[in-house]
Structure 1
Amino acid sequence: MFTYRKRVLAATAAIALAGGLAACGGSDSSSEGEAGGGPTSSATGGTLNYLIFAPIEHVDPQRIYVGRDITNFSRTVYRQLVTFPISTDPKVSNTPVADLATDTGTSTDGGKVWSFTVKDGVKWEDGKAITCEDFKYGASRVFATDVITGGPNYLLSYLDIPTDDKTGLPAYDGPYKGDGQDLFDKAITCDGNTITYHFNKPWPDFPLAIAALHMMDPYRQDKDNGDKSNFQIFSNGPYKLDGAWSKNKGATLVRNENYDDKTDDPENIRRALPDSIVFNIGQTTETIYDQLIADTGDAQTAVTSQRIPAPYYNQIEGAVADRATLEASPYVDYIVPNFRNMPDPKVRDALKVATNAQAWIDAGGGEKAFAPAESIVNPAVVGYQDNPAFSGPQEGDPAAAKKLLEEAGVTMPYPITFTYPSTETADKQAAALKETWDAAGFDTTLDGLGDTYYDVIQKPDKDSDVIWGGWGSDWPSAITVTPPLFDSRPNLTSNSDGQDYGAYKSDAFNKLVDQAANASTLEDQTAALQQADIQLGQDVAYIPLEIAQFYFLHGSKVTNFTTTPASSSFPDLGAIGVES
């Protein structure tokens, strides 16, 4: 039978980082190498195949913002000041350890100042040393919001740089334009190998942010081509890119001869067991699982980020089931109304009331695929609470929704376009939502996208009225859920909506975000974030659909198959190898 690993959370698990608290997620059963019944081995060699359906839209470290990709690249080509180790024990996997830095950092001024010293002997793939200035330049790229788009933007709110009164953005606009460079140079300083960050408010869990994201990664200025760097990889890890990265086809990683594992922890961070890793992009989920179930050829040495499709569940039995895992994920799937196109709160409320989340779940495979959600915040996050705005029936209420549309005085049927990433299963789920929406008085056009997704929904001029999204906390705090998704100030620019796909803008919500960000205790921060989520529910800034379940299958020659909190419950490439 498949192994069931439940991802649980210690409500107030403490990590000793300048007195800060961080919550941890993890499993309550399988140990490393046991998940899915695969073999264990420390042998090196062979080729691991990673099968992915949708294109990876960013490999630029400052732009990567998908949990799977963050860890895949952390284990292979990009190293950080600190990182998360390989472990299924949540207390271990969510505690940062030194990587390119000599330790996990020193904090002063109540968490407003953090310093790290870069190790001696760490190198780029061309053999040149990684310097403090490389880390400083990497951080500067985040501020070029017109060029480096799509990535995490916490630095815009935290780094001690004044805000421009006209734009609401920091007065520094990144290395390409260079306006406000003197302000940036005061906020991040280098003294030999020591880099120091100055923040405008406490950031007690800053090492968690570094370990969880790539926004603070080093970047060599002479290798920066701005937007054209989006599919370039200049490695400092155990692997490097062989040839070019193809957005729609993938690429192969091979060993980096200038990587020195003596500067790393090859047992607990990057075992680097395969000689090469092939990212194979573009096959449908169904095609991937036809190969994995047959378990022949390259599929024997393959893992995937695609979940087992519901129509294939009855094939996961016998020896095939021994290679399967089922685990609750840290991700919540949701939809957002586009506030530019749907400004009337009664129309948004009607959309919420008409949404049949249970039909979406059933069409997607039922309980092996999804669990019900009553907030955009995952229940594993500290301070989670059900959002009262979404306490109604999961099946929706078309009659009540139609009454709200009538009260709004809009012409019916009310046309809406629903944009989502298209797969065979997602198309069925979208059709299930359409049925109830149309019964409530909407006229729904389904807009399933295949070749690209986030690049489209982040455009301010998109035609979408309702937009699908999926999110997991960047680290286990709601400060990494609702603010990055709905704080309009760092998100909404002339070129991009960032993660605020519905262009939500609320002074009341932003005030609560500021209150949480400046809180001196976890309790005060949590209380402000809970109120912020209530505000979002009242405004119908989002509608939760479900919590994704991860049901995976891997090839029979894959060794040490492991999913960890550090890998967002996807396969952890730091541990996995193959039988040669």
Structure 2
Amino acid sequence: MFKYRKRVFAATAAVALAAGLAACGGGSSGNGSGNGTSEPTSEAKGGDLLYYLYTPIEHLDPQRVYVGRDITNLSRTVYRTLVAFPISNDPEVANTPVADLATDTGTSTEGGKTWSFTVKDGVKWEDGQPVTCDDFKYGASRAFATDVITGGPNYILSYLDIPTDPKTGLPAYTGPYTGKGQDLFDKAVTCDGNTITYHFNKPWPDFPLAIAGLHMMDPYRQDKDQGDKSNYQIFSNGPYRLDGAWNKNKGGTLVRNENYDESTDSPELRKALPETIEFQIGLTPENQYDRLIADTDPNAITGTSVPPAYYSQIEGPIADRSVLVDSPYVYYLVPNFRSPVMKDPAVRQALAVSTNSDAYNVALGGDKAGSPAESIVSPAVVGYQENPAFSGSNSGDPEAAKKILQDAGVSMPVKIKFTYPTSETADKWAAALKETWDQAGFDVTLDGLGDTYYTVIQKPDKDSDVMWGGWGADWPSAITVTPPLFDSRPNLTAASDGQDYGAYDSDEFNKLVDEAANASDLDAQTAALQQADELLGQDVAYIPLSITKFYMLHGSKVTNYTTTPASNGYPDLGAIGVES
């Protein structure tokens, strides 16, 4: 039986109010984790909950979703997995997986290289057919189709005991659509009745945390799989199902799943209080807060932080409906190593030296939005240390940056294109960054994208020179931060750059990742990861900007409003209800 490691929790709790586990890619308007509760409370079922979102959700496919907000929203409503994180504001409770679709939290052998789970009886898909061991096996197989199932977490590609193709550096199994290497996958993932067993090539003691934090191991019905066309389809085994089709630009509505059996679930995971949950996409942050402050939609919640210009309006009774929570996310910049100009280390170094993260954080919203970061790893994560490459001034030094370019013989101005997810607030912080960059000898073009941001920056042929990113640990270890972001082997494929948006490719870094992954204890793992982070700083593979916070408001008829570690600081749909 899996039990959360006390040592990890103690180290995490010492540096944060609450550490978010299922963090992953950060949303463009604010992400986070922490504790927040507000009255009124009620366990009554009924009512219609409205959830405001600004930009479209990029993936609803369980094997592809990789934004913390969306991961937890789907976990509480339509997708169940073997184990899950419970609803709690006690970090030790919230960060300890409990059984969900499995009968318990798993059994490991061979020092953590083999894990087995037994699937519960009586769990059904929305069409009434049972959820089977084979569904779990098929779901795991989809991640290996790296030309189709793109954008999602890829840990399983490195861990599952499948040989590597020497030509591609990727697993010799290429997923269920080609069938190439299927026999290799069938040996690595086996079904014996209701029991599924995963065989890994190295110990994975935190595997239950990975299952609870992500959807990559979710079951998937083979007859429902349409590859890339499944990206906006939901086939539910949870308390809700999608009513009709999902509209990428408008959203969709979840209604009760008639084939959901509450007796197979637990209220510590899903209370399923609202009768319906409508996701409404398209309102700008400003539009959302005009409505939330006026309480136009008293049944509304949001996944967007308060725009700084609205802070002064959050007072009196309105402030009683607000919450400020800590975040597991770090916002950062990544140079594109495929860009001819960014291949020059002097250019990357000058960019880092002239980056004004103080101005970025002021434009982001000041103390209610975040503080300057000294690493891409959050202080809430085991293995955190300030990266020496970024431990100086946070205000940027254009003159020093200009000297770096001059000494390297770089012709100025250096033209660069900065791609970021646009909004009124984002346009302000982008302009703040541009100011000191231009003073340093750059000529910056601001490229604000309003739609499918991550899909664009994951494309290998993008023309961006520098990009914005947001990330949080998938579980509380730095091994879920720097390796998934910068290990080129599982990330860089012909179809996608994965989470390695800047196409960073370093054999030295990858070797340190392997050393950490195969470490015999947490201290050795941490040491290797800290060396890896220092190397990233030396290469300027990223530039840290902000450790973020969330400042949010909700409608007056929303009950049990809470943000838990499991929800990454977003509203936890497992607990929230609405007065009917």
| TM-score class, shorter | over 0.9
Q: What's the secondary structure of 1:246's corresponding residue?
A: coil
1:262 maps to a residue whose letter is: S
Matches within 5 A, 1:140-219: 140-219=141-220
2:325 maps to a residue whose letter is: E
CA contact (8 A) 2:91 2:565 kept: yes
Please state how far the C-alpha of 1:36 moved relative to its aligned partner.
5.3
Q: What's the secondary structure of 1:50's corresponding residue?
A: strand
Change in 2 beyond 3 A, CA 1:18/1:422: closer
Indicate the residue corresponding to 1:10 in structure 2: none
CA contact (8 A) 2:4 2:97 kept: no
Indicate the residue corresponding to 1:247 in structure 2: 248
Indicate the residue corresponding to 2:230 in structure 1: 229
Indicate the residue corresponding to 1:543 in structure 2: 543
Q: What's the secondary structure of 1:426's corresponding residue?
A: helix
In the TM superposition, what whole-angstrom CA distance separates every residue of 1:111-150 from its partner, at most 9, and x where no partner exists? 0000000000010000000000000000000000000000
- Provide the C-alpha distance between the structure 2 equivalents of 1:21 and 1:420, rounded to a whole number of angstroms: 34
Q: What's the secondary structure of 2:183's corresponding residue?
A: helix
- Provide the C-alpha distance between the structure 1 equivalents of 2:451 and 2:208, rounded to a whole number of angstroms: 35
Please state how far the C-alpha of 1:327 moved relative to its aligned partner.
1.2
Please state how far the C-alpha of 1:372 moved relative to its aligned partner.
1.4
Does residue 1:271 correspond to 2:258, yes or no? no
- Percent identity for Structure 1 against Structure 2: 75
Q: What's the secondary structure of 1:114's corresponding residue?
A: strand
- Provide the C-alpha distance between the structure 2 equivalents of 1:35 and 1:549, rounded to a whole number of angstroms: 12
- Provide the C-alpha distance between the structure 1 equivalents of 2:7 and 2:490, rounded to a whole number of angstroms: 25
Aligned length: 559
TM-score normalised according to structure 2 size: 0.95
Q: What's the secondary structure of 2:337's corresponding residue?
A: coil
- Provide the C-alpha distance between the structure 2 equivalents of 1:37 and 1:200, rounded to a whole number of angstroms: 46
Indicate the residue corresponding to 2:27 in structure 1: none
Q: What's the secondary structure of 1:503's corresponding residue?
A: coil
CA contact (8 A) 2:85 2:94 kept: yes
CA contact (8 A) 2:17 2:326 kept: no
Indicate the residue corresponding to 2:458 in structure 1: 458
Please state how far the C-alpha of 1:17 moved relative to its aligned partner.
5.5
CA contact (8 A) 1:36 1:323 kept: no
CA contact (8 A) 2:36 2:325 kept: no
Q: What's the secondary structure of 2:438's corresponding residue?
A: helix
CA contact (8 A) 1:20 1:205 kept: no
Does residue 1:398 correspond to 2:387, yes or no? no
Matches within 5 A, 1:374-393: 374-393=374-393
Indicate the residue corresponding to 1:489 in structure 2: 489
Please state how far the C-alpha of 1:19 moved relative to its aligned partner.
9.5
Indicate the residue corresponding to 1:479 in structure 2: 479
Q: What's the secondary structure of 2:277's corresponding residue?
A: strand
Indicate the residue corresponding to 1:78 in structure 2: 79
Matches within 5 A, 1:21-40: 21=8, 27=17, 35=36, 37-40=38-41
Matches within 5 A, 1:26-175: 27=17, 35=36, 37-175=38-176
In the TM superposition, what whole-angstrom CA distance separates every residue of 1:428-484 from its partner, at most 9, and x where no partner exists? 100000010000000000000002201100001101000000000001100000000
Please state how far the C-alpha of 1:37 moved relative to its aligned partner.
3.3
Q: What's the secondary structure of 2:288's corresponding residue?
A: helix
- Provide the C-alpha distance between the structure 1 equivalents of 2:516 and 2:429, rounded to a whole number of angstroms: 36
CA contact (8 A) 1:163 1:170 kept: yes
- Provide the C-alpha distance between the structure 1 equivalents of 2:4 and 2:414, rounded to a whole number of angstroms: 52
1:246 maps to a residue whose letter is: N
In the TM superposition, what whole-angstrom CA distance separates every residue of 1:254-277 from its partner, at most 9, and x where no partner exists? 000000010000x20000000000
Indicate the residue corresponding to 2:29 in structure 1: none
CA contact (8 A) 2:56 2:451 kept: yes
Does residue 1:368 correspond to 2:368, yes or no? yes
Indicate the residue corresponding to 1:3 in structure 2: none
CA contact (8 A) 1:27 1:89 kept: no
Q: What's the secondary structure of 1:75's corresponding residue?
A: helix
Name structure 1 gaps, 5 residues minimum: 1-14, 29-33
- Provide the C-alpha distance between the structure 2 equivalents of 1:240 and 1:538, rounded to a whole number of angstroms: 48
TM-score normalised according to structure 1 size: 0.95
Please state how far the C-alpha of 1:328 moved relative to its aligned partner.
1.4
CA contact (8 A) 2:142 2:176 kept: yes
- Provide the C-alpha distance between the structure 1 equivalents of 2:409 and 2:228, rounded to a whole number of angstroms: 45
2:327 maps to a residue whose letter is: S
- Provide the C-alpha distance between the structure 1 equivalents of 2:564 and 2:345, rounded to a whole number of angstroms: 41
Change in 2 beyond 3 A, CA 1:17/1:326: closer
Does residue 1:326 correspond to 2:324, yes or no? yes
CA contact (8 A) 1:24 1:90 kept: no
- Provide the C-alpha distance between the structure 1 equivalents of 2:129 and 2:114, rounded to a whole number of angstroms: 29
1:331 maps to a residue whose letter is: Y
Q: What's the secondary structure of 1:116's corresponding residue?
A: strand
Indicate the residue corresponding to 2:427 in structure 1: 427
Indicate the residue corresponding to 1:16 in structure 2: 3
2:268 maps to a residue whose letter is: N
